[in-house]
Structure 1
Amino acid sequence: MSRAESAAESAAATGAGTAVGPGEPDAAAAPAEWTADDDWTDEALALLRALRSPHRRNRAKQVAFALYCTVLILLVWGGVPSLGLFLQASMGADYTGRGPALLAALPSGAAAVGLAVLLLAVRDGLWRGPVVPPRATIDWLLAHPVRPRPVLRPWFWLSCGLAAFPGLVVALGGMVVLGLTVRTGLPAALGWCLPGALCLPLLGVCAGLLVQRDPRAARWARLLTPYATVLVLALATQSALAAAGHPVHWLERIELWSGPWGWAGLAALAPTPAAVTGGGLAAALLVLPTVLGLLAADRAAGTVPLGLLRERARTAAGVLAALRTVELRAARLVVASASGASDGGRRRVRLPVPRKPWLALYWRDALALLRTPARLGRAVLLAVPALLCAVPAHGTRGVLSWAVTVLALLFGYLALAQLLEPARIETDDVRRSSWSPYPFAGLMLRHAVVPAVLGLVLSVAGAVAVLLLGGGATAWLAPLAVPPLIAAGLVNACRGPARRDLLYRSPQPTGGGNTGIAMFAAWYAAGPAVALPLLALPLSAALRAGTAPGLPQAALIGAVLTATLLQWARARAAALPARARHS
């Protein structure tokens, strides 16, 4: 007890209660240095381990059960079907017909996936990062004379393990695919897929730590994110074109050697007939920087500023609380605010003030979208896969054509939903509409005008591009799909607060259990869930026909669907003010 009292007196005398440990870069936060005699790190951690042992045992049981369930799901949904396919292949089934297309798509496709993994890890470092202990650890333990590194290192390595596990699953999936379609030996396929599948997530964790602790790296990450996103979509488009028989071999060589995202593809191609010289070197280039990056990150994990850790822990807790209460929009807004997307993406754009009062609403909506160019950029980028998915729908038949058309419409809906943010902001707090002379339902319908005009401009530009590339008259289906998709987005924007009560009730108990989750999902995505399947029927028929006579029928069905969805959105919007007053 005397030693503890002396340590407390020493801490009070030196101001250690608010000091940070050695290695903390923010020296101004420490009024005075504390010496090795004040260092109680080992004793504090040993005491905490003893006090937390019952909780740690319970937590270990929970983690073991979660891991058991995950492995069981992977075996049931992945391992058993894969084994069945290999048994069928041993009895004469031939799956090699897809092999050439797979090998053609692999170079740029692997580069796209690898770059996307690194981009997601870097974006995670902008708002959370790989080193985020619980708030109790940050607010209490690290505020005492305790070395940060022994406390923070386990959280960094936990992030590494969580990132490596999906990579291992992807490597096993690549082994199965190469073994079935290319007849590659399973040990060789797994061995050559592992470097990319494991090293890229671990490099992403290291990059996320750099972004988390270094403001300059965070600024560069925000600056380069749009360009990296465009590059990922361009690589994915090139991969699709290569699979369709239009490869660009010289460009693929450049992409394969351009960085870690390409080295993973080089290594994966090594055991296949399409192997490129340098696969072993590419694997070595992946492993060596990963090892060096992990060693450097292990040393840097203890130097994350304490104030930043507090901020990230509160952000992560806010996102988790929003997810637990099924407030997905709130979680998205918290992440955007913490990562700087809400501020860094704004531009001071001015538009002439309209002379007519009825134009004020459209002026505000247009100005809001112009001042957040990131949303306009995402709308353009998401429109590209929508047009690309319509190409295979033109050459397929039956249910497959309908499914591909639904996928194209889904990308189109996501693109147009970016333009409906002013309507969603209006419904976040209905009191904002007090300035408007219109009833709230009429105000929400007017919020669809500017997104519809911008969507029509974007779709017409895409249709013209398809026509210039040799497409047929069915390219004009893109503008016809804009009004119903905007109406579907408006239905979703008017849904109001989350109906969590739907999660806990099932009107008709079934043998499969409670249907609350399905009911909540149907309520949450009601607009696109109705619009996409219905709109895909005439559009897929017109795409299959490939001629202009299918356009009037698609236009008529789209107009009826648009009117129905707008009436639904109006009814939903009319109920929001009364619901807000009673909440």
Structure 2
Amino acid sequence: MSGARTAAGTGTGQPDEEHDAHGPDGPNQADGADEADDPGTPAEWTADDDWTDEALALLRTLRAPHRRNRAKQIAFAAYCTVLLLLVWGGVPSFGLFLQASMGADYTRYGPGLLAAMPGGIAAVGLAVLLLAVRDGLWRGPVVPPRATTDWLLAHPVRPRPVLRPWFWLSCGLAAFPGLIAALGGMVALGLTVRTGLPAALGWSLTGALGLPLLGVCAGLLVQRDPRAAHWARLLTPYATVLVLLFATQSALAAAGHPVPWLERIELWSGPWGWAGVAALAPTPAAVPGGTLAAVLLVLSTALALLFADRAAGTVPLTLLRERARTAAGVMAALRTVEPRAAKLAVAEATGGTRRLRVRLPAPRRRALVMYWRDTLSLLRTPARPGRAVLLTVPAVLCAAPAHDTRGVLSWAVAALALLFGYLAVAQLLEPARIETDDVRRSSWSPYPFSGLMLRHAVVPALLALVLATAAAATLLLLGAGPVAWLAPLAVPPLAAAALVNACRGPARRDLLYRSPNPSGGSTGVAFFLAWYAAGPGVALPLLALPFSAALRDATADNLTSTATFGTTLTVLLLAWARHRATLLPARARPTGA
């Protein structure tokens, strides 16, 4: 053991086969005082210095009680998950098949489903890969606990036996949702297309398992290679636009406007399309090459897993420590119910806070300084206006089916469209949220804090009106008629609702423990969610009522009543936001100040 202690104390390198993968100094060079004690180049490991097997065996023995408790927790979580899936998925699916055997006909949904599958599967597949790549920018599939990175890997142990299980754990976690998606696809095809269940499940599993596993491998590449991370950041906006284009094409195809040659390009454009070719293989809408697409997807996944398994142990220790700290910070923020803090930590780690050097001429009137700052802030972070533009597309697409729906379904469709519209407008209110993160920033302003917050809503509302007017003009050119003007009518109340949320202040964790009837079970989570999403939680259900009626029948009377209701709701929401903003400085002031 003396050799191991010496190696650990002086920060020595690692065995030759691992040394080449990490550079001349090895990944396990000690930090801080060790480097000061021995400024020379660390010596390479020898076979006598390698205590990997003994260290891992000792740790397994020491961690046995913890592993048993952890196994019980995991088994209970798995039991609850399977039970929920059976109750909410298995039993209803069995009921639908039972109804189909008794004469119920679900095949009328088959043509629409088959028409939407090429673009829809391509959109979902590319979105899965994009999310996995973005995860690799701040966390990655190989992120052991901080104790492992800060202590164990700093000792003379080979990284691969320690890191490899974490990679395969990420693969298993990624494959589980894919398995659920494949079962859902089997049920949908079996009911609407009358496809054989084994064939539908087998072909669906090709993409449902292949794409998540490919995403894990891509995330590992981004995690360990700075050049891949640079390209991931650079291509993310274009991939996001492509996902929305695939989704738009899928919606148009389901509505009866397919473009066959475009669908063929989508299906063969990459692994995200190969999954669609495989899923369509057992259906009447099968395209040539289903077996080839499945083979390509399986082979590419197998090769990616093979190379990723070898590369899992080559992630630099410095990077592992950084990712472990970021992941721990995000989890700590989530445990303390601080979603914004978690979001900011992820954005900082992924480079999402990058700013452009944009300048605007300073205004000559002091009253315009506030709006100049907000405009400059949004121009210097173009990702937010870009996300607002992208979120407008699903808002318009969700509003389109409201023409042919009635009752509760019409209200739900209108509420979904308004939800995407709210998310688009909320992207533009980041300057207001930054102001409430620390109310001391407002000391420069001559306005009271409540008046300052109301002024923060002017520029986002104007930009959202420009965006909504452009969307309305596009719809008018496509022949939508007067219903297109509902888009700009929705902007003022949605901006006011976003301002209400921006003025909520620090997280009210005390609401989690509040319940009017303790003997009947805790309702704290419902109270907290109602406080956290108060603005949209009030505005969206109320707005959905007149908007659903106007979407069904866009007469002058309906549009006028919708505009009147929206204006009234906007005034009420702004008054609510002003009241919330008035309370923020007092809450932020230290006790006894």
Which bracket does the TM-score occupy, shorter chain normalised?
Answer: over 0.9
Matches for 1:550-561 after TM superposition, within 5 Å: 550-561=558-569
Answer with 147-156 or 23-32: which moved more: 23-32
Partner of residue 588, structure 2: 580
Which amino acid counterpart does residue 435 of structure 1 have in structure 2?
W
Shift of 1:437: 0.3
Aligned pair partner of 1:130 in 138, 141, 149: 141
Q: Alignment partner of 2:568: what SS?
A: helix
**Partners of 1:277 and 1:336 in 2: how far apart?**
43
Matches for 1:253-292 after TM superposition, within 5 Å: 253-292=264-303
Matches for 1:301-320 after TM superposition, within 5 Å: 301-320=312-331
Which amino acid counterpart does residue 410 of structure 1 have in structure 2?
L
Matches for 1:163-312 after TM superposition, within 5 Å: 163-312=174-323
Partner of residue 98, structure 1: 109
**Partners of 2:182 and 2:420 in 1: how far apart?**
28
Partner of residue 28, structure 1: 25
Q: TM-score if structure 2 supplies the norm length?
A: 0.95
Checking the alignment, whether the CA contact within 8 Å between 2:139 and 2:324 is kept in structure 1 is yes
Partner of residue 414, structure 1: 423
Aligned pair partner of 2:5 in 4, 8, 11: 8
1:490-513 Cα shifts (integer Å, max 9, x gaps): 0000000000111112023464x2
- Residue 520, structure 1, aligned to residue 528, structure 2: yes
Partner of residue 546, structure 1: 554
**Partners of 2:7 and 2:530 in 1: how far apart?**
61
1:448-499 Cα shifts (integer Å, max 9, x gaps): 0000110110111110100000011121111111010000000000000000
1:11-43 Cα shifts (integer Å, max 9, x gaps): 5567459x9963552433542211111000000
Shift of 1:7: 3.2
Aligned pair partner of 1:335 in 339, 346, 352: 346
**Partners of 1:13 and 1:433 in 2: how far apart?**
51
Partner of residue 354, structure 1: 363
Which amino acid counterpart does residue 368 of structure 2 have in structure 1?
L
Matches for 1:322-471 after TM superposition, within 5 Å: 322-343=333-354, 346-471=355-480
Distance 1:215 1:506, change over 3 A: same
Answer with 22-31 or 142-151: which moved more: 22-31
Which amino acid counterpart does residue 336 of structure 1 have in structure 2?
A
1:294-323 Cα shifts (integer Å, max 9, x gaps): 010000000000000000000000000000
Which amino acid counterpart does residue 116 of structure 2 have in structure 1?
A
Checking the alignment, whether the CA contact within 8 Å between 1:485 and 1:531 is kept in structure 2 is yes
Q: Alignment partner of 1:549: what SS?
A: helix
Q: Alignment partner of 1:92: what SS?
A: coil
Checking the alignment, whether the CA contact within 8 Å between 2:426 and 2:498 is kept in structure 1 is yes
Aligned pair partner of 2:540 in 529, 532, 546: 532
Identity among equivalent pairs (%): 79
Which amino acid counterpart does residue 276 of structure 2 have in structure 1?
G
1:87-111 Cα shifts (integer Å, max 9, x gaps): 1111111110100000000011100
Which amino acid counterpart does residue 394 of structure 2 have in structure 1?
P
1:126-169 Cα shifts (integer Å, max 9, x gaps): 00000000000000000011100000000000000000011011
Checking the alignment, whether the CA contact within 8 Å between 2:449 and 2:581 is kept in structure 1 is yes
Q: TM-score if structure 1 supplies the norm length?
A: 0.97
Which amino acid counterpart does residue 363 of structure 1 have in structure 2?
W
Shift of 1:206: 0.2
Which amino acid counterpart does residue 560 of structure 1 have in structure 2?
T
> What 5-or-longer segments of structure 1 have no aligned partner?
none
Partner of residue 485, structure 1: 494
Matches for 1:32-181 after TM superposition, within 5 Å: 32-181=43-192
Shift of 1:396: 1.5
Q: Alignment partner of 1:352: what SS?
A: coil
**Partners of 2:589 and 2:356 in 1: how far apart?**
35
1:177-226 Cα shifts (integer Å, max 9, x gaps): 00000000000000110100000000000000000000000000000000
Distance 1:11 1:170, change over 3 A: closer
Which amino acid counterpart does residue 386 of structure 1 have in structure 2?
A
Checking the alignment, whether the CA contact within 8 Å between 2:395 and 2:417 is kept in structure 1 is yes
Q: Alignment partner of 1:277: what SS?
A: coil
Distance 1:9 1:241, change over 3 A: closer
**Partners of 2:191 and 2:490 in 1: how far apart?**
39
Checking the alignment, whether the CA contact within 8 Å between 2:7 and 2:155 is kept in structure 1 is no
Which amino acid counterpart does residue 504 of structure 1 have in structure 2?
Y
Q: Alignment partner of 2:283: what SS?
A: coil
Checking the alignment, whether the CA contact within 8 Å between 2:3 and 2:48 is kept in structure 1 is no
- Residue 565, structure 1, aligned to residue 586, structure 2: no
**Partners of 1:180 and 1:538 in 2: how far apart?**
35
Shift of 1:399: 1.6
Shift of 1:5: 2.6
Distance 1:6 1:406, change over 3 A: closer
Shift of 1:397: 1.5
**Partners of 1:89 and 1:392 in 2: how far apart?**
26
Which amino acid counterpart does residue 104 of structure 1 have in structure 2?
A
Q: Alignment partner of 1:144: what SS?
A: coil
Shift of 1:554: 0.9
Which amino acid counterpart does residue 361 of structure 1 have in structure 2?
M
Checking the alignment, whether the CA contact within 8 Å between 1:24 and 1:305 is kept in structure 2 is no
Distance 1:133 1:482, change over 3 A: same
How many aligned residue pairs are there? 577
**Partners of 2:163 and 2:292 in 1: how far apart?**
34
Which amino acid counterpart does residue 527 of structure 2 have in structure 1?
M
Checking the alignment, whether the CA contact within 8 Å between 1:122 and 1:204 is kept in structure 2 is yes
> What 5-or-longer segments of structure 2 have no aligned partner?
30-41
